[in-house]
Amino acid sequence: MFLFSAIIIAIVFMLSCEKTKNIVSEPIDEWNRAELINNGMRTGTLYNVSFQCGHSGATCPGCITQNGHTIHIDCQGNGTLCNRSGVIDVQLVSANLYTATTQDSTDLTSDPYFNMPARSLYTGMDDTGLPRWLNIPAQFVLRDSTTRLFTFTGVFFSQQQVYKNQ
């Protein structure tokens, strides 16, 4: 009877380890990340972000109309053609929604606008050991006329990747 109980316990233990192994081994997108920066006495939370975006002009799914003409914007919008990076300040607005503001006018692009694709940026593990994602919905933003920075709205955190980053 003791041997039978020991075998059952061993089988249950191995099965539970296998499930844990499958959860941990899920691939994390190495190009779309947000690394927490120690921000000292600031009110928001700083992240060094990097993500891929953009597509070729021949496959332009997100072209815009400017002065009555459809144009392609290099390294903006959907796709993974270009690497973008910068520092953002994430601040709570209400409940679970945040804004994210670039911290340097040279981050992301030199254009006066940025066609931000929907991106889920992996931030690492939270305090409970679960994965944490910073999610920025797709939006077309203009630079602030005074600060020359971009501000993204509707930003939120989750424990699962929300956007496909494509």
25-38, pLDDT tens digit by residue?
346 777 899 999 97
- Percent of the chain having pLDDT more than 70? 78
- Whether 89 maps to a domain, the answer reads yes
- Whether 165 maps to a domain, the answer reads no
- Whether 127 maps to a domain, the answer reads yes
Residue located via tokens 């903006």:
76
Which range of residues forms the domain containing residue 140?
Answer: 28-158
The model's confidence at residue 85, banded by pLDDT at 50, 70 and 90, is very high
Q: What is the pTM of this model?
A: 0.77
Q: How far apart are the first and last CA of the chain?
A: 56
Torsion of CA 108, 109, 115, 117, to 10 degrees: -30
pLDDT at site 22: 34
* Apex 145 CA angle, 121 and 137, nearest 5: 25
Q: How many separate domains does the chain show? A: 1
Torsion of CA 125, 126, 130, 131, to 10 degrees: -50
Beta strands in 78-129 (DSSP E): 82-94, 97-102, 113-116, 119-125
Residue range 120-153, pLDDT digits in tens: 999 999 889 999 999 999 999 999 999 999 999 9
pLDDT at site 140: 94
- Whether 46 maps to a domain, the answer reads yes
